[in-house]
Amino acid sequence: MRPSVFQRLDGAARNMLPAGVTLLLLILAQIPLHLPGVANIMPPLALIGVYYWAIHRPDLLTAGSAFLIGVLQDLLAGLPLGVSALVLLLVQGIVAARRRFFLGRGFGALWFGFGLVGLAASLAVWVLVSGLAGALLDPRPPLFQFLFALFLFPPLVKLMGHAQSAFLKEA
**pLDDT computed for residue 170 by the predictor:** 52
Q: Is residue 163 part of a domain?
A: yes
* Rounded CA separation 65/52 (Å): 14
* CA angle (148 as vertex; 141, 131 as ends), nearest 5: 30
**pLDDT computed for residue 171 by the predictor:** 44
Q: Is residue 83 part of a domain?
A: yes
Q: Is residue 34 part of a domain?
A: no
CB of 63 within 8 A of CB of 108? Answer: no
Q: What percent of the chain has pLDDT over 90?
A: 79
**pLDDT computed for residue 37 by the predictor:** 67
Confidence of residue 123 (pLDDT cuts 50, 70, 90): very high
Q: Is residue 74 part of a domain?
A: yes
In tens, the pLDDT along 62-91 reads 999 999 999 999 999 999 999 999 999 999
In tens, the pLDDT along 14-67 reads 889 999 999 999 999 988 877 776 666 789 999 999 999 999 999 999 999 999
Q: Is residue 13 part of a domain?
A: yes
Asked whether the CA dihedral 30, 112, 142, 98 is positive or negative, the reply is: negative
Q: Is residue 14 part of a domain?
A: yes
- Please give the tally of structural domains in the chain: 1
pLDDT of 136 above 50: yes
Per 3-state DSSP, the chain is made up of helix, strand and coil in percentages (nearest 5) of 75, 0, 25
* Rounded CA separation 147/6 (Å): 43
CB of 92 within 8 A of CB of 131? Answer: no
Q: Is residue 35 part of a domain?
A: no
How high does pLDDT run on average in the chain? 92
Task: Provide the residue range defining the domain that includes 126.
Answer: 5-29+40-167
